[in-house]
Structure 1
Amino acid sequence: MGEGEGVESSNKPDIRLSSPFPWRGETLPPILDSETPEHLKRIRDLGIPYIFDIHTHFFPETIMKLIWRWFDNVNWAIGYRLSEAERVERLHHNGIQRFTTLNYAHKAEMASSLNDWTYANYKNWKGAIPFGTFYPEEGVLTYVKKAVEEYGFLGFKLHCEVSKLNLNSPELTDTFLYLQEKQIPILIHTGTAPLPGEFTGIQFFKPFLETYPKLEVIVAHMGADEISAYASLLDSYPNLALDTTMVFVDFLATGKVLDVDSAIPYLERYQNQIYFGSDFPNIPYNLNHPISRFLDLPISDLAKQKILYRNAENRFFK
């Protein structure tokens, strides 16, 4: 595939220049995929057969376009505004052979239909790991059980900011207890980036984790601008993990400069509890950027192997 093939291009000025979510430095990485991404040789040299991306999104087309419209309104350029088939092709092109089908509901009576849609389509996306979602509403445990026991979903995604979801809601108690018993992981956007929400932040997450201490939870974005607070829980909760989505990149998704360098030691110390994530396709840069930046980090080869591939492989295919 040639330079930029399949990636939407435009003659319009780069909207990233006026975004409230700025870039570190003055040079913006292009939204282009090279014919042979340079990171492919680097991961092979590390003994990594492929990358397992724990944080990729799939929505019905109508909903995905509405999400992209929201990003357009805040000048957040979408790097891969493509069809599902083309997006899967770009993942494979970048060495991402396994990836999740994350979506989430922003209102009641939506989550179950999203699960049905995911189940009807995910087998068309080679390498897709089926994730469902749920919402605090009547019947939630019933459709979550269906997703696990009939659809065979391997995880769930929640977005506390978009869904205005309080993890401590009593409506979700039985559902969390069920997933805890089944050892089904939940990837939760509980941090305050790119925008804070009514129920985001460590003050809501910590009591939730104390209530369900054996629940398998993956915190998206390493908790955003509260990385140290979330990382401080890893010793006490061995079933807790973090994902690296949009942390070690030059794009400032929180709208401010974070001290991400101080988070690098966590990658080494907790190398068994960290997963690589990209947030594809809703990223304002090419997939090579977060992968290469991660490979550049001063951590051991073993930690890179575990985070890019082995931890997720062991979790979902043990």
Structure 2
Amino acid sequence: MEGEGSPLASNQKDTRISSPFSWRGDSFPPILDSETPDHLEKIRDLGIPYIFDIHTHFFPETVMKLIWRWFDNVNWAIGYRLPEAERVKRLHHNGIKRFTTLNYAHKAGMASSLNDWTYTNYKNWEGAIPFGTFYPEEGVLGYVKKAVEDYGFSGFKLHCEVSKLNLNRPELADTFSYLQEKQIPILIHTGTAPLPGEFTGIEFFKPFLETYPKLVVIVAHMGAHEISAYASLLDSYPNLALDTTMVFVDFLATGKAEDVDFAVSYLETYQDQIYFGSDFPNIPYNLNHPISRLLELQISDLAKQKILYRNAESRFFK
């Protein structure tokens, strides 16, 4: 499938060289899919029927193009710059048969319409698990209840850096309390990688979690660049989890190589509280890369099964 249907320019490799984020090693992983990704046989041997990707993005086309323009400005190559239906095919091609519909609002008046768009479209994406979003604004609890009770959404996504969102804002207290009561997961980009924000980092996240200790929270990127700080909370908060998005890959946007290598031990120790995530489609390599890298790590087969499939399956299909 290399090159099929993709508008990639011929200088993508040069673009990746000039990225402000460093790479591990001297060569880049392929940016597009092979005909038969080599991880498919490996996951079958592990008894994994398919991969559950907890961190995939779906936005209205106009918004997605604006996001891609931002990535272009920092020389962050995107191989899966493809029509929506083709992107879903690429997920399936890589054995990812269940995946989330993450999007987020960066200003007031945007979140409710994103939820409506997701509800209207997600059934066209075979395997999609609908996630909504919200923002600190008037009426937020009402449209969150609508997303849960009328739309049947399985979770929500927040992005503290892009949304300039302080999780401790009082306008969101009733919404977080409602989601805690309903045990609806929230996947939150709260870490400082790849770029810090005004309200990112453990200093904002820890008091938030102390306020809502039973809230089901999945921390994106394992909380990078503060992976150890976020992992230290896992013992005390059984409803807290981390996702592996862009952590164990050759693209070091989420930390230095030694920090990433150190984090491998958490995958074994907290194997029940870790989910696989890719950040598809906004990745500068093909989907085989993060999956194969995780499969190569020195952790048990059971941990790999749980991270790639079983934990998410248990959470969303009890």
Does the pair score TM above 0.5? yes
Deviation at 1:4, TM superposition (A): 3.4
- Residue 113 of structure 2 corresponds to 113
- Residue 250 of structure 2 corresponds to 250
Q: How does 1:207-222 map to 2 (within 5 A)?
A: 207-222=207-222
2:9 counterpart letter in structure 1: S
Paired-residue identity, %: 86
- Residue 272 of structure 1 corresponds to 272
Retained in 2: the 8 A contact 1:21–1:256? no
- Residue 146 of structure 1 corresponds to 146
Aligned-partner Cα distance in 2 for 1:198–1:97: 36
Aligned-partner Cα distance in 2 for 1:228–1:63: 33
Retained in 2: the 8 A contact 1:155–1:186? yes
- Residue 98 of structure 1 corresponds to 98
Deviation at 1:3, TM superposition (A): 3.2
Q: How does 1:1-318 map to 2 (within 5 A)?
A: 2-12=1-11, 14=13, 15-254=15-254, 256-318=256-318
Counterparts in 2 of 1:81 and 1:13: CA distance versus 1, 3 Å: closer
- Deviation string for 1:118-137 (max 9, x for gaps)? 00000000000000000000
TM-score, length-normalised on structure 2?
0.98
Aligned-partner Cα distance in 2 for 1:256–1:268: 21
1:278 counterpart letter in structure 2: S
Deviation at 1:265, TM superposition (A): 1.1
2:51 counterpart letter in structure 1: I
Structure 2 regions of 5+ residues with no counterpart? none
Number of residues of Structure 1 aligned to a counterpart in Structure 2: 317
Deviation at 1:26, TM superposition (A): 1.4
Structure 1 segments of 4 or more deviating over 6 A? none
TM-score, length-normalised on structure 1?
0.98
Retained in 2: the 8 A contact 1:20–1:255? no
Aligned-partner Cα distance in 2 for 1:94–1:21: 26
- Deviation string for 1:139-183 (max 9, x for gaps)? 000000000000000000000000000000000000000000000
Deviation at 1:30, TM superposition (A): 1.8
Counterparts in 2 of 1:162 and 1:209: CA distance versus 1, 3 Å: same
Aligned-partner Cα distance in 1 for 2:114–2:201: 26
Structure 1 regions of 5+ residues with no counterpart? none
Residue 226 of structure 2 aligns to a residue whose secondary structure is: helix
Aligned-partner Cα distance in 2 for 1:28–1:5: 19
1:125 counterpart letter in structure 2: W
Aligned-partner Cα distance in 1 for 2:22–2:87: 25
Deviation at 1:251, TM superposition (A): 0.1
Retained in 2: the 8 A contact 1:21–1:255? no
Deviation at 1:229, TM superposition (A): 0.2
2:238 counterpart letter in structure 1: P
Aligned-partner Cα distance in 2 for 1:265–1:135: 35
Residue 142 of structure 1 aligns to a residue whose secondary structure is: helix
Aligned-partner Cα distance in 1 for 2:147–2:174: 15
Q: Alignment RMSD, CA only?
A: 1.0
Residue 107 of structure 1 aligns to a residue whose secondary structure is: coil
Residue 70 of structure 1 aligns to a residue whose secondary structure is: helix
Counterparts in 2 of 1:38 and 1:101: CA distance versus 1, 3 Å: same
